[in-house]
Amino acid sequence: MATAAIIGGGVIGGGWAARFLLMGWDVRVFDPDPEAERKIAEVLAGARASLPGLADVAMPQEGRLTFHPTIPEAVAGAEWIQESVPERLELKRKVYQTVQEHCAPDAVIGSSTSGFKPSELQGDAVRPGQIVVTHPFNPVYLLPLIELVTTEANPVELVDRAKAVLEGIGCYPLHLKKEIDAHIADRFLEAVWREALWLIKDGIATTEEIDNAIRYGFGLRWAQMGLFETYRIAGGEAGMRHFIEQFGPCLSWPWTKLMDVPDLDDALIDAVAGQSDAQSGAYSIRELERMRDTNLVSILRGLKAQNWGAGALLKAQDVRMSTLPERLEDVADLSQPILTVSQAVPLDWTDYNGHMNEARYLTAFGDATDRMMRLVGCDADYVASGVSFFTVETHIRHLDEAKAGARIRVESQCLEGQGKRMHLFHRMYGGERLLATGEHMLIHVSLETRSSAMPDDRVAVPMARLAETHAGLPRPEGAGKAVGVR
């Protein structure tokens, strides 16, 4: 199992530890703070509740987390070393000196710095080519963007390996081949922050009004299209050129004060802090973090359903992590029920009772049905040819509850597979507990006439093979049962 060393276990370091750990890496942490273990445990609790819910396949087996009293112990045997110490150049360089005395020469040393250029970090290093900037965004365990900033001192092989590692833990490495202070994203954030401070100082808007302008408006557009693609659409059918022609002159108008920074005097600090307390003071930081994480999961899963923006990254990550069969030939033992779903319960699948919403049982069973269809040959190409299966009857029994973050799996059995009919029975488990069953009758149809039709051999043959093999299994308890008191 791969090993990552985390040097500095604050908010960012703890987020890195959680992402590596939940993606199957062993994690070794060094932080002199006596409260480091408690703080990282709290971050990890949030990550365990939220990150697995982004995946619709089983996550890797969680790695082993250990804490170490010295940097040499923490970096021993590590393939990736993530530095997240305070933003003081002399401190970072001192850390690198100790790290490089004791780490593997080919280990990647990534810095979470939000401002320093990699050439500055590499300045006094014994092996400058080991050190790169890998700047994340909070919460590190949910947001995929990592600004990977390199210099000519970094070997191509190391840069490629850094990209592969970041992609392997579900991140998007944005590679900056030319360094600049504060990289890319923080320069945008700084510009918006400066303008926001002026709006408060001049009495134009409060902190809450500014936040509402972002979260109810352009923030949602930026979340899935960014800046330029959003403006391209704003240009209508003529696109970006028309947008620039129409709005370009505005750049010379005195709309912003981006080059003029207000003094952070006591009056402005008091105004910002007071308004922020009035806006969010009713919630603890942990409550706000949980709400943030729940909202991000919902947004990201929504984008995932559309295979768009950050959601497309999640879909690609599911493909990389999935071990579920796509063809009958992939099934190790056809004589047993087939594993068709294996995932965690996402945060947005729970209801007011604190457990999985009844509609989500059908979602999971629907995913299991879709996989069974693909296994017998009813894949995208088959559907594109004008034929498919429609579900005509469903019966779900709710036997036990599942909460957010719980691992669930569905095992599926084919009760009948001949002619136009495919009769399926799904069992959902949480560990060894039977949580629910779903019985589904499907009819093969022509998508042109929307009427039942016989399948051709592409589906008929494998479906009959599966049904014949499963005919030897015991009939499931509850199959064919009507709604009633148990």
**pLDDT tens digit sequence for 39-82:** 999 999 999 989 998 998 999 999 999 999 999 999 999 999 99
Looking at the fold, whether 365 and 219 belong to one and the same domain comes out as no
Q: Flag whether 11 is marked binding.
A: yes
Owning domain of residue 465? 325-470
Looking at the fold, whether 268 and 171 belong to one and the same domain comes out as no
- pLDDT band at residue 486 under the 50/70/90 scheme: low
Looking at the fold, whether 60 and 148 belong to one and the same domain comes out as yes
Which of the listed residues 176, 210, 230 is the one where a domain comes to its end?
Answer: 176
pLDDT at 279: 82
- Least confident piece of the model among 325-329, 337-341, 422-426: 325-329
Looking at the fold, whether 159 and 212 belong to one and the same domain comes out as no
Instruction: Look at residue 168 and tell me if it is in a domain.
Output: yes
| Three-state SS sequence of 61-114 | CCCCEEECCCHHHHHCCCCEEEECCCCCHHHHHHHHHHHHHHCCCCCEEEECCC
Q: How far apart are CA 417 and CA 24, in angstroms?
A: 39
Residue 86 has pLDDT above 80, yes or no: yes
Q: Flag whether 129 is marked binding.
A: no
Looking at the fold, whether 139 and 275 belong to one and the same domain comes out as no
Q: Flag whether 383 is marked binding.
A: no
Instruction: Look at residue 249 and tell me if it is in a domain.
Output: yes
Helices 266-280 & 185-201 angle (0-180, nearest 10): 100
- Please report, for the domain that includes residue 157, its CATH number: 3.40.50.720
Looking at the fold, whether 168 and 35 belong to one and the same domain comes out as yes
Looking at the fold, whether 16 and 157 belong to one and the same domain comes out as yes
Which of the listed residues 176, 206, 226 is the one where a domain comes to its end?
Answer: 176
Q: How far apart are CA 154 and CA 110, in angstroms?
A: 12
When pLDDT is averaged across residues 366-382 and rounded to a whole number, the result is 97
Looking at the fold, whether 261 and 331 belong to one and the same domain comes out as no
Instruction: Look at residue 295 and tell me if it is in a domain.
Output: no
Residue 354 has pLDDT above 80, yes or no: yes
- Please report, for the domain that includes residue 274, its CATH number: 1.10.1040.10
- Please report, for the domain that includes residue 396, its CATH number: 3.10.129.10
User: What's the number of domains the chain is made of?
Assistant: 3
Looking at the fold, whether 343 and 250 belong to one and the same domain comes out as no
- Least confident piece of the model among 203-207, 293-297, 455-459: 293-297
**249-274: per-residue pLDDT in tens?**
776 777 777 777 778 788 988 888 88
Kindly report the average pLDDT of the chain as a whole number.
93
Instruction: Look at residue 287 and tell me if it is in a domain.
Output: no
Which of the listed residues 176, 208, 223 is the one where a domain comes to its end?
Answer: 176
When pLDDT is averaged across residues 371-382 and rounded to a whole number, the result is 97
Which H/E stretch holds residue 397? strand 387-398
Looking at the fold, whether 23 and 159 belong to one and the same domain comes out as yes
Instruction: Look at residue 184 and tell me if it is in a domain.
Output: no
Instruction: Look at residue 188 and tell me if it is in a domain.
Output: no
User: Exposure of 221 by Cβ count < 10 A (0-12 exposed, 13-18 middle, 19+ buried)?
Assistant: middle
When pLDDT is averaged across residues 355-381 and rounded to a whole number, the result is 96
Looking at the fold, whether 167 and 140 belong to one and the same domain comes out as yes
91-100, long-range: CB < 8 A, 24+ apart: 92/116, 92/121, 93/121, 93/123, 93/124, 93/125, 95/7, 95/71, 96/121, 96/124, 96/125, 96/131, 97/124, 97/125, 97/126, 98/71, 98/72, 99/7, 99/71, 99/75, 100/125, 100/126, 100/127, 100/130
Q: Flag whether 9 is marked binding.
A: yes
Instruction: Look at residue 288 and tell me if it is in a domain.
Output: no
When pLDDT is averaged across residues 361-388 and rounded to a whole number, the result is 97
Phi/psi at 76 (5° precision): -60, 120
Instruction: Look at residue 246 and tell me if it is in a domain.
Output: yes
| Stated pTM of the model | 0.84
- Least confident piece of the model among 245-249, 311-315, 470-474, 479-483: 245-249
**133-186: per-residue pLDDT in tens?**
999 999 999 999 999 999 999 999 999 999 999 999 999 999 999 999 999 999
Looking at the fold, whether 166 and 238 belong to one and the same domain comes out as no
At 439 the three-state DSSP class reads: strand
